[in-house]
Structure 1
Amino acid sequence: MLGLFGKHKQAVTVGMQIASGGLSFLVLDVKSRVQPKIKDYVSYTIANGEPLDQLAINIKQYVEENRILKAKSCFVLDDEDYQLLTVESPKVPDDELREAVTWKIKDLITFPIDDVLIDVFLFPENNRSTKKIANVVVHRDVIQNISSFVESVGLNLLAIDVPEMSYRNYIETTEYHEKSIAVVLIKENYGKLIVVQNSHVLFSRSFSIPYNGGLFDNLPESEIALELQRSLDYYERQLKQIVPSRVIFVGENITDDKVTAVIRESLNQEVIIGKVENLADSENQHLYSGRLVAAYGGALRKELYL
Structure 2
Amino acid sequence: MTHARDRGMSGPAAQHQRGRLAAAMTVLAAEQGWQNVTVDMVCERAMISKRTFYALFADREDCFVLAVQRSVAWLIDGVASAVVVAGDEWSARVGAALSAFYLNLDADRLRAWLIVIETVNGSDRAREVRRAALEQLVRLVDEGRGAVPPTGTAAVGAVMELAYRHLTGPDAESSMLTLIAPAAYLVFAPRLGRRAALAEAERLAGAVVAAPRVEAADHLAEDSTLRLTRLTEATLLYVAGHPGARNVEIAAAIGVEHDSQISRHLRRLEDAKAARRTRDGRSNAWELTAVGERLADELREAQDSISDGGEGFHLTEIETVVSNRHGTWMCLDDASAR
TM-score (norm 1): 0.27
Larger Rg: 2
Higher relative contact order (CA 8 A, sep 6+): 1
TM-score (norm 2): 0.26
The structure where strand makes up a greater share of residues is 1
